[in-house]
């Protein structure tokens, strides 16, 4: 009996060993051999969630990844719950990716209290860029960004601007505008994201607001708001060709507040896996069907490869550190 158990044990160990060895060697070649999850740090139905669902919908095609991608929603605390989970609990095997939102997670990690930083993750590719825009209600006294800034200079702290929360793109944009103009605004973070911030503008609870270009574009189409300026380096030709950038208006505001969305994996993921994903994922984002759906939804796309995203992350880290240092 004892002998039997012993030989069995040896056999099992041998099989297990050979299995792990062969798995190690062929891991990258076979990857992916099962569906891949993408953790989204916001709730189902939010902009990040539905864009993630659209851009990953062709993953199962043989010429892309050959395996479908499913979405895991991990909402809470402005995204902190999902990214904390990804940084501490997810496995670094390439079968769990996460959607990132820049500047949100970098700003949060600079403010502290979370278990991640830009160094905890490896970017794969970027799919979208949603700039922040300045909006006012349709009956507002302000018709240009200059009028608003001048009003704020005369009445410091009296011009209320709603936005989706603290340390998100909207807040960064508000800080940059204050820094560039020297005027003092009252930034009002709303609970309930960009939609609640937009409601505050339309209902007249606040004098103006910072919101996503895509949402503001729709509200403008519906005749509810006026868009005064875009916080980006160049105008958005596709959706808002007539709205000037803040830079054109004479204020030194760059694209640090643009909400970049893309996919990342955890640090420690095998290099072969990262390389394969970095090669295939931009192709997936550029797929015709994806582009068509994104355009229909009014979601601006900006496909960037891994090297470009790495550079962008590093730059944001610098800018945000300076900007948030005084807070």
Partner 1 sequence: MEFLSYFGGVFEPTAFLLLLGGTIGGLILGATPGLSPTMAVALLIPFTFHLSPTQGLILLGAAYTSTVAGGAVSAILLKIPGAPANIATALDGNAMAKNGEGARALHLSFLSSGIGGVIGVLLLIFLTPVLAKWALAFGPSHLFWMAILGVTVIGSLDSKSFVKGLLSGCIGLWLSMIGFDDNLGAQRFIFTDVLAGGINIIPALIGLFAIPQVLDMFSKGRDSSVIEAIEVPKQRFMDSLREISRSGRALSVGTFFGSIIGLIPGVGGQIAGLVAYDQAKKFSPDKDKFGTGHPEGLIAAESANNAMVGPSLVPLLTLSIPGSPTAAVLLGGLIIHGIFPGSDLFDNHPQVAWTFINSMLIGQILMVIFGIYTATWAARIARAPVPIMAAAVMVLALFGAYSVQSSMNGVYIMLAMGVGMFFLEKFGFSAAPLVLGLILGPIAESNFTTGSLIANAQNGPVEYFMTGTLNIFLITLVIASIAYSFWSNMVQGKAVKKAQGATS
Partner 2 sequence: MTASRLQHTISSGAILFVAAIVTYISFTQEPADAFLFPRLIAIFFVSLAAWNFMRAVTGVAKVGVGLDMIELKNIVPGLVTMLVFIFFAAKMLGFYLASSIAFMLIFTLYDPAPLNDGKAWMKRLIVTVCFMAVMYCLFALLLKVQTPSGILF
Distance CA 230, CA 249 (A): 10
Does residue 34 bind partner 1 (CB under 8 A)? Answer: no
The residue count for binding partner 1 (CB under 8 A) is 58
Does residue 42 bind partner 1 (CB under 8 A)? Answer: no
> Which strands make up the sheet holding 259-266, listed edge to edge?
69-73, 36-40, 96-102, 259-266, 121-130, 301-304
Instruction: State the pairing for strand pair 186-189/160-163.
Output: parallel
Does residue 45 bind partner 1 (CB under 8 A)? Answer: yes
Residue 65: name the closest of 30, 25, 22, 23 by CA.
30
Of the candidate spans 124-132, 183-191, 243-251, 301-309, the one that interacts with partner 1 by CB under 8 A turns out to be 183-191
Side-chain-side CA neighbours of 139 within 13 Å: the count stands at 5
User: Can you tell me which of 55, 99, 159, 172 binds partner 1, judged by CB under 8 A?
Assistant: 159
User: Can you tell me which of 31, 85, 86, 121 binds partner 1, judged by CB under 8 A?
Assistant: 85
Nearer to partner 2 by C-beta: 60 or 70? 70
- For residues 67-96, which are near partner 2 according to CB under 8 A? 70, 72
Distance CA 67, CA 95 (A): 10
C-alpha dihedral sign at 293, 299, 304, 305: negative
Distance CA 240, CA 232 (A): 12
Q: Report phi then psi at 326, rounded to 5.
A: -80, -10
If you ran DSSP here, which 8-state letter would residue 236 be given?
A: B
* In the complex, minimum distance from the CB of residue 190 to partner 1, in angstroms, rounded to a whole number: 6
Residues 6+ apart with CB under 8 A from 198: 135, 162, 209, 211, 215, 216, 219, 225
Residue 81 touches which member of partner 1, partner 2, none, C-beta under 5-8 Å by kind:
partner 1
If you ran DSSP here, which 8-state letter would residue 148 be given?
A: H
* In the complex, minimum distance from the CB of residue 295 to partner 1, in angstroms, rounded to a whole number: 8
Nearer to partner 1 by C-beta: 118 or 207? 207
- For residues 275-294, which are near partner 1 according to CB under 8 A? 293
* In the complex, minimum distance from the CB of residue 13 to partner 2, in angstroms, rounded to a whole number: 17
Of the candidate spans 199-207, 240-248, 266-274, 305-313, the one that interacts with partner 1 by CB under 8 A turns out to be 199-207
Nearer to partner 1 by C-beta: 82 or 306? 82
User: Can you tell me which of 27, 28, 37, 75 binds partner 2, judged by CB under 8 A?
Assistant: 37
Nearer to partner 2 by C-beta: 34 or 289? 34
If you ran DSSP here, which 8-state letter would residue 222 be given?
A: T
Q: CB neighbours (10 Å) of residue 325?
A: 8
Question: Which residues bind to partner 2, rule: CB under 8 A?
Answer: 37, 70, 72
Question: Which residues bind to partner 1, rule: CB under 8 A?
Answer: 39, 43-47, 49-50, 53-54, 57, 72-78, 80-81, 84-85, 88, 111, 113, 157-160, 165-167, 186, 188-192, 195-196, 198-200, 202-206, 218-219, 221-224, 293, 296-298
């Amino acid at each position: 009996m004892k002998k039997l158990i012993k030989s069995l044990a040896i056999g099992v160990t041998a099989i297990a060993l050979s299995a792990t060895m062969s798995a190690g060697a062929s891991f990258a070649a076979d990857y992916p051999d099962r569906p891949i999850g993408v953790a989204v740090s916001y709730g189902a139905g939010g902009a990040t969630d539905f864009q993630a669902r659209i851009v990953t919908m062709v993953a199962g095609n043989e010429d892309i990844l050959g395996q479908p991608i499913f979405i895991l929603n991990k909402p809470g605390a402005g995204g902190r719950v999902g990214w904390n989970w990804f940084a501490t609990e997810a496995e670094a095997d390439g079968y769990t990716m996460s959607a990132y939102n820049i500047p949100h997670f970098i700003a949060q990690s600079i403010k502290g209290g979370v278990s991640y930083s830009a160094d905890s993750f490896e970017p794969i590719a970027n799919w979208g860029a949603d700039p922040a825009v300045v909006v006012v209600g349709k009956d507002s006294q302000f018709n240009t960004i200059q009028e608003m800034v001048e009003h704020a200079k005369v009445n410091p702290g009296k011009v209320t601007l709603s936005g989706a929360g603290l340390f998100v793109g909207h807040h960064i944009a508000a800080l940059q505008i204050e820094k560039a103009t020297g005027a003092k605004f009252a930034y009002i973070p709303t609970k309930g994201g960009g939609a609640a911030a937009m409601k505050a503008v339309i209902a007249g609870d606040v004098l103006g607001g910072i919101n996503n270009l895509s949402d503001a574009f729709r509200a403008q189409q519906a005749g509810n708001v006026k868009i005064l300026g875009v916080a980006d380096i160049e105008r958005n030709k596709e959706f808002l060709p007539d709205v000037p950038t803040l830079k054109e208006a004479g204020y030194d505001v760059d694209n640090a507040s643009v909400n970049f969305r893309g996919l990342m994996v955890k640090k420690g993921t095998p290099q072969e896996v990262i390389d394969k994903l970095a090669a295939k994922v931009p192709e997936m984002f550029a797929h015709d069907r994806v582009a068509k759906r994104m355009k229909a939804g009014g979601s601006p796309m900006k496909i960037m490869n891994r090297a470009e995203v790495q550079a962008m992350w590093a730059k944001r880290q610098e800018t945000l550190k300076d900007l948030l240092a005084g807070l």
